[in-house]
Amino acid sequence: MELSQKLQDALNKQVAMEYQAAYKYNGMRIYLDDLGAHGATHWMTLQTKEEIQHAEDFIQFIKSVDGQVELGQIKKETTDYDGLASVWEAGLSHEKEITKSIEDILALAIKENNYAAENFLRTYVDEQVEEEDNFRDVLELIELAGDDITAMFQVDSKLGQRK
Ligand SMILES: [Fe+2]
């Protein structure tokens, strides 16, 4: 099933967006590491790797339908945050942007009756529900811990258990 130029462009844009997410989360990982929050660093390291895998999935999909992969530009990202809550707030808001982008591409695939792209993108809608939920869960834990240092150590330790 061939890709229209428009759909191919949108999928390539998503590849860059997934790499951008990896780049952003790597900035967070560097910040968390500097902070000495080992568990949180571990969590974000895995998240960074996951985003690279998402980019790879989109690349493979484009290739599998004989499309042309283009690697677009990614922007500079900060390594400067203001505590754990600010990191996961920024992460959650970025995931929401990614969800919106994937939903827009899915709408285009549906409009063009591109069933292969539709099926592929639907799995990513599910993935995004999970991603937002993961970020929201951590943010809730961080907010619950508040200024309690002991509770924050427990949160960090829990984040260190992510597989
Ligand atoms: Fe992603």
Note the pLDDT tens digit of each residue in 57-71: 999 999 999 999 999
- List the chain domain ranges: 5-75+82-159
Q: What is the pLDDT along the chain (163 residues), one digit of tens a residue?
A: 789 999 999 999 999 999 999 999 999 999 999 999 999 999 999 999 999 999 999 999 999 999 999 999 999 999 999 999 999 999 999 999 999 999 999 999 999 999 999 999 999 999 999 999 999 999 999 999 999 999 999 999 999 999 9
Give CA separation, 125 vs 58, 107, 122, 132, 150, in Å.
13, 11, 5, 11, 37
Residue 73's contacts (CB-CB under 8 Å, 6 or more residues apart) are: 16
Q: Tell me how far the alpha carbon of residue 133 lies from the centroid of ligand 1, in angstroms.
A: 13
- Which residues sit with Cβ closer than 5 angstroms to ligand 1, an ion? 18, 51, 54
Q: Tell me how far the alpha carbon of residue 21 lies from the centroid of ligand 1, in angstroms.
A: 7
Distance CA 117, CA 77 (A): 30
Report pLDDT for 126: 94
Report pLDDT for 149: 93
Q: Tell me how far the alpha carbon of residue 136 lies from the centroid of ligand 1, in angstroms.
A: 15
Report pLDDT for 2: 86
The CA angle 23-42-81, to the nearest 5 degrees, is: 55
The CATH number of the domain covering residues in 5-75+82-159: 1.20.1260.10
Q: Tell me how far the alpha carbon of residue 94 lies from the centroid of ligand 1, in angstroms.
A: 10
